[in-house]
Amino acid sequence: MVILDRPFVSDMMADTLQKNNIPVLRNAVSELRVSNGKLLNDNEFSEEYKTAGKIYTVSENALGWIYEHIDDKRFIDSISLVKDKHAFRRICRDIYPDFFFKEVNINEMADLDTDTLVFPCVIKPSVGFLSKGVFVARDADDYRKAVASLQQDFATAGAGFPEFVVGRSRFLIEEYIRGEEYAVDTYFDENEKPAILNIFHHKFMDESDTSDRLYMTSRRLFDLYEEAFTRFLTTLNATLHLRNFPMHIEFRYDGRKAVPIEINPLRFTGFCLNELQVFISGKHPMVSYLNGTHVTKEEMWAGKENLTYAFTVLDLPQGCEDKTFDEEKFRADFPGVIDVRLVPDKTSGVAATVFLCTETANEAAFDPIMGLDMREYMR
């Protein structure tokens, strides 16, 4: 069972839903994108859930409908727990007893005694989507600058998303997590065991970078981390007790310990970017979750052991809302493009997403993407 919503539904997603006759909630987006699919009205979808017991969404904009129409307390509580970063930190105290975090209202942030904080720290919405409203502060001066910028800009930055997606009043201040950042698409089955579908290395230019610009995956990445990340997810779910639950989780890993940054419930990588897996294995992650299956890394990477795949989220620069992403220029600058997806919803703040592939030995060729001035790629 699937709920479609803004800001983006790919053609691949729409085709997969129709080809597999997967039940989809009837709403304005699904009527436009899968008009020939198996569309169910509110009551039909709610009743179907009682039998199917699984829901997948492409966007957390769908959570409002779920809260209102799905009568399953355990399921709703699970969503609320992982979506609220402060609640998540509280319940994980036993796993991370020394981790510093503090929740404050946006109106209280300017008057907060910075001596009570641990620097460097990260400031982010307690409920958030993408990297909107996220700041890294190395010291008290950085903190004050971040708060001033946040209070000025955040209402505009979050205007394209509902309150339950981007919480505009409560913010979490937590210590900066060391280590490389990774993202995993996974689901917990009916026995609460994790199945990993995607592993991505989330790359940054430096410690102050909080963008969603570049993610990469390869057979080498699976060889290095699949076992360790499966243990981490098993330990985490011994506390969370999630069941029949898909999610996208981002965390930092220093080679010994993994610390979660955030969890996005009921979906995999946003903007349908988890579909990079289709180009690798031919399997759609959504279908794997709904059917309770996933391919082994040997099957996934057969014949592609020496390739690195990547996707990039290319932001829409301010003042370029009436312009279009210059696909031709991007392809000329970055050979290896396998798919370009324009994002028509300007309120998302994203101009386009791109899938790429290269030899693993040459994967550093993607690094300049992190520093692109997107104004040069709009026409």
Say which CATH number the domain at 156 has: 3.30.1490.20
pLDDT, residue 164, reads 46
Q: What are phi and psi of 100, to 5 degrees?
A: -90, 130
For residues 289-314, give the mean pLDDT: 95
- Give a yes or no: residue 163 inside a domain: yes
Residue 269 has pLDDT above 80, yes or no: yes
Per-residue confidence band for 169, with pLDDT thresholds at 50, 70 and 90: confident
The mean of the pLDDT values for the chain is: 91
Whether 200 and 262 share a structural domain: yes
pLDDT, residue 167, reads 45
Write the single-letter amino acid at 75. F
Give pTM, 2 decimals: 0.85
Integer Cα distance of 88 and 124 in angstroms: 14
Per-residue confidence band for 91, with pLDDT thresholds at 50, 70 and 90: confident
Whether 171 and 311 share a structural domain: no
Domain boundary among 125, 148, 175: 175
Q: What are phi and psi of 136, to 5 degrees?
A: -110, 125
Give the pLDDT confidence of 237-262 residue by residue, as tens digits.
999 999 999 999 999 998 888 988 88
- For every residue of 222-247, DSSP letters joined together read HHHHHHHHHHHHHHHHHHH---SEEE
Whether 153 and 199 share a structural domain: no
For residues 159-175, give the mean pLDDT: 64
> What's the domain range around 330?
180-377
Whether 169 and 196 share a structural domain: no
Residue 184 has pLDDT above 50, yes or no: yes
Whether 166 and 201 share a structural domain: no
What is the number of other CB atoms lying within 10 angstroms of the CB of residue 323?
Answer: 14
- Give a yes or no: residue 259 inside a domain: yes
Whether 278 and 316 share a structural domain: yes
- For every residue of 250-287, DSSP letters joined together read EEEE-SS-EEEEEEEET-SSTTTGGGHHHHHHS--HHH
Tokens 């800001």, residue? 7
- Give a yes or no: residue 24 inside a domain: yes
CATH code for the domain in which residue 213 is found:
3.30.470.20
Q: Express as a percent the part of the chain with pLDDT over 70.
A: 94
For residues 323-347, give the mean pLDDT: 95
pLDDT, residue 153, reads 63
Number of separate domains in the chain? 3
Tokens 């990340």, residue? 229
Weakest mean pLDDT among 84-88, 226-230, 308-312, 314-318: 84-88
59: nearest Cα among 254, 348, 338: 348
Q: Count H helices, E strands: the chain?
A: 12, 16
Bigger pLDDT: 110 vs 217: 217
For residues 178-193, give the mean pLDDT: 95
Per-residue confidence band for 105, with pLDDT thresholds at 50, 70 and 90: confident
Give the pLDDT confidence of 40-50 residue by residue, as tens digits.
999 999 999 99
Domain boundary among 121, 141, 175: 175
Domain boundary among 82, 112, 141: 82
Whether 216 and 298 share a structural domain: yes
Integer Cα distance of 218 and 90 in angstroms: 34
Q: Are 283 and 277 in contact (CB under 8 A)?
A: yes
- Give a yes or no: residue 88 inside a domain: no
Whether 220 and 75 share a structural domain: no
Which residues lie across from 253 on neighbouring strands? 180, 258
Whether 237 and 299 share a structural domain: yes
Whether 171 and 227 share a structural domain: no
Whether 168 and 270 share a structural domain: no
Give the pLDDT confidence of 285-296 residue by residue, as tens digits.
999 999 999 889
In the chain, the N- to C-terminal Cα span, in Å, equals 39
- Give a yes or no: residue 166 inside a domain: yes
